[in-house]
């Protein structure tokens, strides 16, 4: 549907969202908030249908999140002619089948990470969206934290010079209690892997975006708690409790993973991801060291970027703390123009995790309106999946493994 606003053709993108747990909630919020912060968007989302399995919970979430209608059948969602974009936030093993079916049904496709549970399936999803000629995007939301996009701008601008090191940590601790049940994130047949695909996938996407291709990896993975109580009902997300005396199930994914990497540009990389780092809740951190300086980002202080500039005068060398909330920072200027003032709030009034999704949806809407590809898309997702796959093989074979182009 096309609506005209001050002479500008603004498309309406009618969205069908699959899933209403953590990511379904984050994506719903992004569709609601995007028009408020991005009035210049070339297309605006219409929150048409929320799709999920449990009727009662689905209706309650649709009401709370602001969806017009609900569907318990994915097939029926695809058959509707009032849906332009399908957004997939279901558990990992459903991503590819849904993405392929949505592309074949003529819809644009937005999918939560990781795209697939293995490389072959990820390639199937890419082939389907390319054949359909639709817009496709993978939700690696952290790229659009303004401080991370500033890091991208600085590295691309040569401000760090030749890059020597990439160092990434993604540390959580929610899985440490033995009574956290056999939820989908700890089951290989559903998740594909544990901390590797759930957390290190984010660090790998950022590394590929900021530094370029990874040539080969060495990797070791570990499952610290091998048995967990089964859930009597399908789990809903990041936890939940099993009933007393529940049967014990076997965890077949990694609780923690460490990867060494060599980049095509000659840089050395280390990655660590775990759900067993007591005290760290969502510590998505990276550091880049180059010939002209270093950058450090920490999601738990997401408005900040630390920058060490080798060119600073000798008596004031040191990491400076940039707060990426000024109009000059990515996403922070109204209408994208610093002279028009702040997009969100005045400088230093900081923004949050949810804004990384809102910024992502803005770029997705513009891509659908203009037909121009947006990143990260399924091409990028396959590159990330190729590194994940190489890590799993390296861990099994206890050897360095080349990452296929």
Binding site for ligand SOE (CB under 6 A): 22, 172, 198-199, 238, 282
The least distance separating ligand SOE from the CB of residue 336, rounded to whole angstroms, comes to: 26
* Of residues 42 and 280, the one with the C-beta less far from ligand SOE: 280
Sign of CA dihedral 206, 36, 368, 97: positive
Q: List b or e across 46-80, with b for residues whose CB sees 16 or more CB atoms inside 10 angstroms.
A: bbbbbbbeeeeebeebbeebebeebbeebeebbee
* Of residues 172 and 360, the one with the C-beta less far from ligand SOE: 172
Tokens of 154: 């600085």
Could you identify the residue written with the tokens 């923690």?
Answer: 256
The CA distance from 151 to 145, in Å, is: 10
The least distance separating ligand SOE from the CB of residue 300, rounded to whole angstroms, comes to: 12
* Of residues 150 and 200, the one with the C-beta less far from ligand SOE: 200
**Contact yes or no for 190/91 (Cβ under 8 A):** yes
* Of residues 13 and 139, the one with the C-beta less far from ligand SOE: 139
Give the contacts of 92 (CB within 8 A, at least 6 positions apart).
114, 116, 117, 184, 190, 191, 192, 197
N-to-C CA span, the chain:
40
**194, 232, 211, 180: which is closest to 114 by C-alpha?**
194
H or E element that contains 121? helix 119-132
Count Cβ atoms below 10 Å from residue 81 Cβ, excluding itself. 7
* Of residues 17 and 369, the one with the C-beta less far from ligand SOE: 17
The least distance separating ligand SOE from the CB of residue 281, rounded to whole angstroms, comes to: 9
The least distance separating ligand SOE from the CB of residue 34, rounded to whole angstroms, comes to: 19
**Contact yes or no for 166/270 (Cβ under 8 A):** yes
The least distance separating ligand SOE from the CB of residue 15, rounded to whole angstroms, comes to: 20
Could you identify the residue written with the tokens 């000024």?
Answer: 326
The CA distance from 60 to 148, in Å, is: 35
The least distance separating ligand SOE from the CB of residue 359, rounded to whole angstroms, comes to: 15
The least distance separating ligand SOE from the CB of residue 49, rounded to whole angstroms, comes to: 23
Write the DSSP string, 287-325: EEEESSEEEEEEGGGTTEEEEEETTS-GGG-S-EEEETT
* Of residues 11 and 275, the one with the C-beta less far from ligand SOE: 275
* Of residues 61 and 132, the one with the C-beta less far from ligand SOE: 61
* Of residues 83 and 206, the one with the C-beta less far from ligand SOE: 206
The least distance separating ligand SOE from the CB of residue 140, rounded to whole angstroms, comes to: 9
Query: What residue number has its CB nearest to ligand SOE?
Result: 198
Classified as helix, coil or strand, 331 is coil
The least distance separating ligand SOE from the CB of residue 51, rounded to whole angstroms, comes to: 20
* Of residues 172 and 218, the one with the C-beta less far from ligand SOE: 172
* Of residues 71 and 380, the one with the C-beta less far from ligand SOE: 380
Q: How far from 222 is each of 42, 270, 402, CA to CA, in Å? A: 46, 17, 21
**Contact yes or no for 323/298 (Cβ under 8 A):** no
The least distance separating ligand SOE from the CB of residue 172, rounded to whole angstroms, comes to: 6
């Amino acid at each position: 549907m096309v609506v005209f606003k001050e002479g500008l053709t603004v498309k309406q993108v009618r969205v069908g969202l699959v899933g209403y747990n953590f990511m379904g909630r984050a994506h719903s919020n992004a569709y609601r908030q995007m028009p408020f912060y991005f009035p210049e968007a070339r297309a605006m989302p219409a929150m048409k249908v929320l799709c999920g399995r449990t009727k009662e919970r689905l209706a309650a979430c649709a009401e709370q999140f602001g969806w017009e209608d609900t569907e318990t059948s994915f097939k029926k969602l695809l058959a509707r002619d009032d849906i332009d974009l399908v957004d997939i936030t279901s558990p990992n093993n459903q991503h590819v089948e849904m993405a392929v079916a949505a592309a074949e049904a003529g819809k644009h496709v937005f999918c939560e990470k990781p795209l697939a549970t293995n490389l072959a399936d990820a390639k199937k999803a890419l082939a389907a969206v390319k054949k359909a000629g639709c817009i496709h995007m993978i939700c690696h939301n952290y790229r659009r934290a303004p401080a991370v996009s500033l890091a991208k701008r600085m590295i691309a601008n040569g401000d760090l010079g030749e890059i020597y090191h990439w160092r990434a940590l993604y540390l959580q601790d929610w899985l440490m209690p033995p009574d956290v049940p056999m939820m989908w994130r700890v089951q290989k047949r559903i998740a594909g892997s544990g901390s590797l695909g759930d957390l290190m996938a984010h660090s790998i996407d950022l590394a590929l975006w900021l530094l370029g291709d990874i040539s080969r990896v060495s990797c070791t993975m570990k499952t610290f708690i091998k048995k967990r109580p089964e859930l009597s009902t399908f789990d809903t997300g990041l936890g939940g409790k099993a009933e007393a005396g529940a049967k014990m199930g076997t965890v077949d994914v990694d609780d923690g993973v460490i990867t060494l990497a060599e980049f095509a540009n000659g840089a050395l990389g280390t990655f660590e991801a775990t759900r067993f780092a007591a005290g760290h809740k969502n510590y998505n951190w990276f550091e880049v060291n180059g010939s002209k300086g270093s950058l450090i980002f920490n999601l738990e202080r997401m408005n900040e970027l630390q920058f060490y500039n080798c060119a600073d005068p000798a008596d004031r060398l040191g990491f400076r703390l940039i707060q990426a909330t000024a109009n000059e920072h990515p996403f922070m200027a109204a209408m994208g123009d610093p002279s028009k003032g702040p997009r969100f709030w005045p400088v230093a009034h900081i923004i949050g995790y949810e804004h990384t999704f809102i910024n992502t949806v803005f770029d997705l809407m513009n891509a659908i309106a203009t037909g121009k590809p947006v990143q990260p898309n399924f091409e990028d997702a396959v590159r990330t999946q190729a590194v994940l796959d190489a890590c799993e093989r390296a861990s099994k074979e206890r050897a360095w493994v080349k990452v296929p182009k």
